[in-house]
Amino acid sequence: CVALYESLVIGMKALSFSAKAAGDEEEEMSNSEIALTLVISPLFAIAVFLALPTFIVKFIPGVQDNHVVLNLIEGVIRLVLFLLYIWGIGLTKDIQRVFQYHGAEHKTIHTYELDLPLTVENVRQQSRLHARCGTN
């Protein structure tokens, strides 16, 4: 749990730094804003991806008796909600930038880890997939 919290804090600070470096953000997020985000985000995720599908399935007649069907329907609802979430955040300017350059970041990391000079030619030759990234 501590590692997840630390990863979230580091990730938020990195995104904030990148936005500021790109000139998109005037000021950094305060520690209280980061803390509030770290509290609200998991609550939102639990409500939307755990509680909401369970709540919706209760209104589908005949499903409560068949646990396999119940779990399948809940899973499909969760998948649809997740895809809608990704689509929705993809409409925002900041996240579009993250999506736009994420593969290039992987290529740059590969180049750096191979101890090659960080040139456009070397970076272009690398894979956009990265073993330690879960978004491939």
C-alpha torsion sign, points 49, 51, 55, 57: positive
Please check whether residues 63 and 117 belong to one and the same domain. no
Given a cut of 80, whether residue 52 has pLDDT beyond it is yes
* pLDDT at residue number 123: 93
Q: Evaluate if pTM is beyond 0.85.
A: no
Given a cut of 60, whether residue 24 has pLDDT beyond it is no
Residue 104 lies in domain: 90-130
**135 lies in a domain?**
no
Given a cut of 80, whether residue 26 has pLDDT beyond it is no
**136 lies in a domain?**
no
Residue 29 phi/psi, 5° resolution? -70, 140
2: its two tokens: 């501590």
Coil/strand/helix, residue 26:
coil
Given a cut of 90, whether residue 34 has pLDDT beyond it is no
Please check whether residues 72 and 95 belong to one and the same domain. no
**85 lies in a domain?**
yes
Please check whether residues 98 and 79 belong to one and the same domain. no
Please check whether residues 57 and 105 belong to one and the same domain. no
Please check whether residues 83 and 37 belong to one and the same domain. yes
For 76-115, write each residue's pLDDT tens digit. Answer: 999 999 999 999 998 988 788 878 888 888 899 999 999 9
Q: Are 79 and 101 spatial neighbours (Cβ–Cβ below 8 Å)?
A: no
Please check whether residues 101 and 41 belong to one and the same domain. no
